[in-house]
């Protein structure tokens, strides 16, 4: 069917949508062109191209056809004006829906009290990360000891939250490790009535957040073995081994972010 015949058909009321692979495609949606073998040579030349549906048309027999504009066509504006040579027709069987990829939202939360020596580890890592360029879907926040703020952040729909904190585990000071808390362990566990005003216990914050609603889909903890937590009088500044571990922790966090975003594109 030539362009003149298609123009005659445009007087028919176009369909609002067409179902392809379980997806209701409509005007403005993006599709991947997969022309059938033996078809028009011009259509075959567009195989693999991404196009935008300009309209959904019906022929005399009521069969649906997609009028599309090739996304990379320099003359795509002419196609939108329905000019020949920039507007093409494909059957629903010759296209694949292009699913919109929603960037995975990631929160990096620095935790710690800057007046308790190595407890400031998470705060220092957050400050370093704030000075670096990260994907737009990644947010870095220095929560300090603001447990309630972190609890509410966990309810904010993040796909992944990376907590960064000093965490004693009996390893040599400055040892950096990654822990994935078992969120199921907090099921049915009463949340603390009030969080400590001077320190932040990540487990208690997670319990509090879970008692209020649905939290981040996944939570990881990048921890560091402290050497000194300030004692009764407190102390400002990180010990030498923990200070050296800050750069390593920054790299670990960046790798976790990179891995999460790769999973988003692949086998998530």
Domain check: are 175 and 218 in the same one?
A: yes
Domain check: are 57 and 114 in the same one?
A: no
Domain check: are 114 and 41 in the same one?
A: no
- The whole-number pLDDT of residue 109 equals 96
CA 257/CA 252 separation, integer angstroms = 9
Give the CATH number for residue 92: 2.30.30
Q: Which tokens in the block code for residue 132?
A: 């670096």
Domain check: are 68 and 110 in the same one?
A: no
Domain check: are 220 and 187 in the same one?
A: yes
pLDDT higher for 204 or 5? 204
The whole-number average pLDDT for the span 111-125 is 94
Domain check: are 28 and 65 in the same one?
A: yes
- How far is CA 97 from its chain centroid? 21
Domain check: are 253 and 170 in the same one?
A: yes
Domain check: are 117 and 50 in the same one?
A: no
Domain check: are 162 and 257 in the same one?
A: yes
Mean pLDDT of all residues belonging to the chain: 82
- The whole-number pLDDT of residue 192 equals 54
Strands 88-90 and 64-70: antiparallel
Give the CATH number for residue 203: 3.40.50.1450
pLDDT cut 70: percent of the chain above it? 79
What pTM did the predictor assign? 0.62
Among 97, 132, 156, the domain-final residue is 97
214-249 CB burial, b ≥16 within 10 A, e <16: ebbebbbbbbbbbbbbbeeeebeebbebbbebbeeb
What is the CB-side half-sphere exposure of residue 262 using CA atoms within 13 A?
A: 6
Domain check: are 82 and 149 in the same one?
A: no
Whether pLDDT at 99 is above 50: yes
Domain check: are 140 and 237 in the same one?
A: yes
Whether pLDDT at 11 is above 70: no
Q: Which domain holds residue 254?
A: 106-265
* Contact (CB, 8 A) for 45 and 111: no
Among 75, 97, 119, the domain-final residue is 97
Q: Which of 11-20, 26-35, 182-191, 253-262 has the lowest mean pLDDT?
A: 182-191
Domain check: are 126 and 216 in the same one?
A: yes
Among 44, 67, 97, the domain-final residue is 97
pLDDT higher for 94 or 181? 94
- What is the number of domains present in the chain? 2
């Amino acid at each position: 069917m030539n362009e003149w015949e298609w123009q005659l058909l445009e007087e028919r009321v176009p369909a609002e949508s067409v179902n392809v692979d379980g997806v209701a495609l409509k005007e403005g949606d993006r599709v991947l062109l997969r022309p059938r073998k033996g078809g028009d040579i011009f259509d075959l030349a567009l195989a693999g191209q991404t196009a935008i549906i300009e309209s959904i048309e019906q022929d005399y027999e009521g069969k649906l056809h997609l009028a599309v504009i090739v996304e990379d066509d320099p003359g795509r504006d002419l196609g939108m004006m329905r000019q020949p040579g920039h507007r093409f027709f494909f059957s629903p069987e010759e296209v694949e829906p292009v699913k919109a990829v929603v960037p995975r939202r990631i929160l990096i939360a620095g935790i710690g009290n800057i007046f308790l020596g190595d407890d400031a580890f998470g705060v220092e890592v957050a400050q370093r990360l704030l000075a670096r360029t990260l994907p737009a879907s990644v947010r870095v926040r220095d929560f300090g000891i603001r447990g309630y703020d972190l609890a509410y952040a966990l309810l904010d729909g993040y796909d992944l939250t990376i907590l960064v904190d000093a965490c004693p585990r009996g390893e040599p000071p400055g040892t950096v490790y990654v822990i994935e808390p078992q969120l199921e362990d907090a099921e049915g566990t009463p949340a603390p009535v009030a969080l400590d005003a001077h320190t932040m216990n990540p487990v208690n914050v997670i319990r509090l957040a879970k008692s209020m609603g649905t939290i981040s889909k996944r939570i990881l903890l990048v921890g560091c073995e402290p050497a000194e937590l300030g004692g009764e009088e407190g102390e400002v500044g990180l010990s030498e081994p923990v200070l050296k571990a800050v750069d390593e922790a920054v790299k670990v966090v960046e790798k976790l972010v990179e891995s999460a975003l790769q999973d988003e594109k692949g086998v998530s």
